[in-house]
Amino acid sequence: MDSNETATATFGIGCFWGPEAQFGAIDGVVRARVGYAGGTKRGPEYHSLGDHTEVFQVEFDPDSITYRDLLELVFESHNPQQQTRKTQYQNVVFAATAAQQAALNEFLTAQGLTADGIGTRVEQLSRFYLAEDYHQKYKLRSVSSYMDAFEAAGYDDDDLRESPIAAKLNGYAAGYDVAVAEELST
Ligand code: MHO
């Protein structure tokens, strides 16, 4: 069934700048943003994170990509047998709904893994805090011609963070242009 409803998934695999770009470029991912999650401190900020971890969050179209597909990419993009000591950069996979929890369990079983047997944390998402504006679309922000174009179009920081086209350009700015390469070759 076709619908315009998006779903949301949240993961941490180290400094959030790179994965926001990588996953934002993927076909079926509509929006991407970065933030802090996994801890208990209220109102974390980049320089006072407390026990939170840098995470990226994607909004995706379940008709074109599934949470399971995203899990596969997340597990290809980090080593689940390792964990970083610093909480800020830990590998963590969140399930936000019962359906995501079921998909996650199925995925781990299919890989011959268990939540307890891997370094990656496997958790229920309780709360996601948005990171500061200057961390959102970090790679895109380093390309002044892109930023000039968004400014000319009247985008403010919230618009840029939530923009589907900015999610793609952020990926291309970081060299994640797989979707473009595929289109050009067909
Ligand atoms: N060592 C990196 C980390 C940034 S990431 C947002 C840097 O400061 O360039 O944690």
CA 83, CA 43: separation in Å to the nearest integer? 25
CA 179, CA 182: separation in Å to the nearest integer? 5
User: For residue 88, which atom of ligand 1 is closest to its CA?
Assistant: 10
Distance 15 CA to ligand 1 centre (A): 6
131 is catalytic: no
Q: What is the pLDDT of residues 101-158, one digit of tens each?
A: 999 999 999 999 999 999 999 999 999 999 999 999 999 999 999 999 999 999 999 9
Closest residue by CA, ligand 1 atom 9: 15
Which of 16, 17, 90 most suits a substitution to test ligand 1, by most atoms within 8 Å of the C-beta?
17
Q: Which of 105, 96, 90, 27 is closest to 57 using CA atoms?
A: 96
Considering only the C-alpha atoms of the chain, give the largest distance between any 2 of them, rounded to a whole number of Å. 51
Distance 114 CA to ligand 1 centre (A): 30
Please, which residues bridge with residue 121 across strands?
92
CA 40, CA 50: separation in Å to the nearest integer? 8
The full set of domains in the chain, from first to last, is 7-184 (3.30.1060.10)
Distance 92 CA to ligand 1 centre (A): 18
In this prediction, residue 60 carries a pLDDT of 98
**Side-by-side strand order, sheet with 53-60:** 121-124, 91-95, 7-13, 53-60, 29-37, 129-130
Tell me the pLDDT of the chain averaged across its residues.
Answer: 94
Q: Would you say residue 71 has pLDDT above 80?
A: yes
Closest residue by CA, ligand 1 atom 6: 15
Closest residue by CA, ligand 1 atom 10: 15
Please, which residues bridge with residue 71 across strands?
none
Give yes or no for residue 54 CB within 6 A of ligand 1: yes
Alpha helices in the chain (DSSP H): 17-24, 67-76, 98-110, 138-141, 144-152, 157-162, 164-173, 178-184
Q: Would you say residue 170 has pLDDT above 70?
A: yes
State what percent of residues in the chain have pLDDT above 90.
92
Contact yes or no for 58/70 (Cβ under 8 A): yes
Give the type of residue at 112: G
Closest residue by CA, ligand 1 atom 5: 15
ipTM of the complex, rounded to two decimals: 0.90
